Amino acid sequence: MHGLDARRGCRFIPDADTTHLYLRSSTSLAKKLTSQDVRRDILRLLKNNGKKEYRPKEIARQLNYKSQVAYRLFLDVLGEMDEQKLIARVRGGKYTYKPRSTTVEGTLSVNPNGFGFVTVEGMEQDLYVSEHNMDTALDGDRVLVQVAAATRGDHRRECEVIRVIERKRTQIVGTFRHIGRIRYVVPDDKRILHDVLVDEEHVNGANDMDKVVVSIDRFVDRKASPEGRILQVIGPASDPAARVLSVAMSLDVRAEFPEDVIREAQAIPEIIPAAEIARRLDLRHKMIYTIDPVDANDFDDAIHLEELEDGTFELGVHVADVSAYVRPGTPLDDEAFARGTSVYLVDRVIPMLPEKLSNLVCSLRPNEEKLAYSCIMNVTPQGKVNRYEIRETVILSKHRLTYEEAQALIDATASKHPMAEHVQRAAKLARVLTKKRMREGSVDFDLPEVRVRLNEKGEAVDIIRKERTEATRLIEEFMLLANRTVASAIGKRRNPPPFVYRVHDKPDAEKIFNLAQYVAAFGYELPLVAGNVQSKTLNTFLQRIQGRPEEPVIEEAALRAMAKAKYSTNNIGHYGLGFTYYTHFTSPIRRYPDLMAHRLLKHYLQGGAPVEAEELESRCQHSSEREKAATEAERESVKLKQVEYIRQHVGEQFEGVISGVTKFGVFVELSEILVEGMVHVRDLDDDYYEYDERTYRLIGRYTGKVYKLGDPVEVIVAAANIEKREVDFVFAE
């Protein structure tokens, strides 16, 4: 909009809401003047005059806002722009142009290949940063970046790190090297792109090729290396146990408990006071039992199931009452929160709570009186929960069954074992619950898993594929039902107070579209509705591919396309399970969010006031981050042992399935032991292969030979690199 000098002879008529004006001539309506027009005029004037400073009246005079009404609108808009910092106010009450800031804060994520991305809150897309533009930032750092101008046709904006605002990593795990006078640590985490130099006086007894923890004390120039001190020697890199622990510690898993936490745990008595038993619901007479993995010691949950006279069932899910022992604000609680979860590595468990609690005081061990927090439900034969109560209880588990023992009882219909009838009844109800859940939209991911068998030295001697049995499903279904029920107890209130929910957003439409293209390469169609997939449709599709060679590959791709489940006070429901209300309640020994849920349930069920939502959300976010780190540590520890195992079989032949195709080669997953490796294009010397990105295929230019997703193949193990956790194959033919 230009100045108003061309509008002489017009008179201003204020609109009813005074946010815009009409310029009216004697005969017709000419134009409406809005606050948006005024804002645009002010910005244009200030920008066109560079660093020149103006008083408000000077700006109004330049823009010909002479009318009292126009001037009043101008002052209102100028005040809003000043408050929003769209213009700069300088000394003397003058205004000048304020260039739009191109610096933003975000979190840096580094790719092992050298580049990275900065995630900025409120921006839909991450900012790309090349290695030479990272300055001294490391993976996970909070950084200030300068955003580059957009390039036409390129939707990804680039940026340059100006300053590290907050250093996430003050120490890293890696391999100590001592070559001549040079001492340095090679990080285990490949997202750390620099070795760390160590002075001789700060070696702390480390020997060449030891796994160590090193500090990052100084990092001032990206062209140089960070400097630090050896804080802890984990053990020789050749030691299998040290390798596993270093993998976990490199992902920020806390291995040792502080002394004050150990002292607090040791002071907790094992005997339950009589007064505590007297105030609780006494369920010691019930036929309560546990079903857990054969090597478990931390028994979080127990169950009982009775058939009532009216044909319904009383199902009790009894959970270790950790909140009775771990009090908020204590060193024990602070450490549990910091850890967030127990970490189940391939060769050990790093518990959230000291063993005195996790394996003894809180664990629902057989034939021992224990404090529990119980969800007791009345369930119809069709799987509907009629009513429930959530109570502090005291229990006495009658039996401890392994999954294998429970499955044997389910299979042996004529067994005379004292627990046979109880387990078979539970399995029957669990089948009903599974069918009901599937009908209502749950997605049943049945990804194959492996168990690595180790010798006394911690070396991998066998890899066994885990079987998902009725016994495992039985416990899954009962825990799901209890978690859903207690979440509903809070979430269905008229004005639900802040609570810890386990939520799972619907998939990103772009990822689902890519998944549909991916499965099309296998000859399947994934029906989409409004650009996305309904949970029932996805579950039907997964059932369709069961038993096919490509099943694990497609299920893994489908899981990657899903949003990640997380903890939040904002209950958006759980897409994967198809639940409106869901939480984690059944494992407080090994998950901090369950402990939070217990405390909140007790507080609210006793009439307590709503807690502070912002603080609770912050704790939920932290718990989600710790869960992610633990999952990665567990997965990488298994992968490490898989590579250790397959290295013993270099030169041997295995059956597998093509799990991925890129221009660099073909990924193959071995069918029985689920080890994945690559057949590099450089080793495909029988033809010149070209990559078809649309169909995920490598095609021989002269022979027409095709390698595509899902193809069964036979490969020979060519090499296995333990440090990089990478395996190379060649095709047997």
DSSP string, 273-308: PHHHHHTSEE-TTS--EEEE-TT-----EEEEEEE-
Q: 170 vs 448, which has greater pLDDT? A: 170
Q: How many CB atoms within 10 Å of residue 88?
A: 15
Q: What integer is the mean pLDDT of 127-133?
A: 92
Topology of the domain covering 4-96: Arc Repressor Mutant, subunit A (1.10.10)
* Residue 528 pLDDT: 86
Q: Is 323 left (phi over 0), alpha (psi -120 to 50) or beta?
A: alpha
Spatial neighbors of 139 by CB under 8 A, at least 6 apart, are 108, 109, 110, 116, 168, 169, 189, 191, 192
Spatial neighbors of 516 by CB under 8 A, at least 6 apart, are 525, 526, 528, 533
Q: What is the pLDDT of residues 247-306, one digit of tens each?
A: 999 988 998 999 999 999 999 999 999 999 999 999 999 999 999 999 999 999 999 999
The C-alpha atoms of residue 408 and residue 411 are separated, in whole angstroms, by 5
* Residue 154 pLDDT: 62
Output the CATH code of domain 649-731: 2.40.50.140
CA angle centred on 478, ends 504 and 360, rounded to 5°:
100
CA angle centred on 419, ends 418 and 421, rounded to 5°:
100
pLDDT over 70 at 15, yes or no: no
Six-digit token string for 575: 């897409």
pLDDT over 80 at 46, yes or no: yes
Six-digit token string for 348: 């050990």
Q: How many CB atoms within 10 Å of residue 183?
A: 19
Q: For residue 333, give the H/E element and its range.
A: helix 331-339
Q: What is the pLDDT of residues 646-698, one digit of tens each?
A: 999 999 999 999 988 999 999 999 988 999 999 999 999 889 999 988 888 89
Spatial neighbors of 528 by CB under 8 A, at least 6 apart, are 512, 513, 516
Report which DSSP code applies to 101: P
Q: 108 vs 79, which has greater pLDDT? A: 108
Six-digit token string for 547: 């038993």
Spatial neighbors of 223 by CB under 8 A, at least 6 apart, are none
Q: What integer is the mean pLDDT of 395-400?
A: 97
Q: For residue 118, give the H/E element and its range.
A: strand 116-119
CATH superfamily of 103-166: Nucleic acid-binding proteins (2.40.50.140)
Six-digit token string for 464: 């066994």
The C-alpha atoms of residue 187 and residue 171 are separated, in whole angstroms, by 10
Q: 679 vs 9, which has greater pLDDT? A: 679
The C-alpha atoms of residue 469 and residue 402 are separated, in whole angstroms, by 12
4-96 against 103-166: fold identical? no
The C-alpha atoms of residue 300 and residue 326 are separated, in whole angstroms, by 15
Predicted structure pTM score: 0.81
Going from N- to C-terminal start, the domains of the chain cover 4-96, 103-166, 171-238, 259-502+578-637, 506-562, 649-731
Spatial neighbors of 47 by CB under 8 A, at least 6 apart, are 97
The C-alpha atoms of residue 604 and residue 616 are separated, in whole angstroms, by 14
What band does 617 get if pLDDT is binned at 50, 70 and 90?
A: very high
Q: Which CATH class is domain 171-238?
A: mainly beta
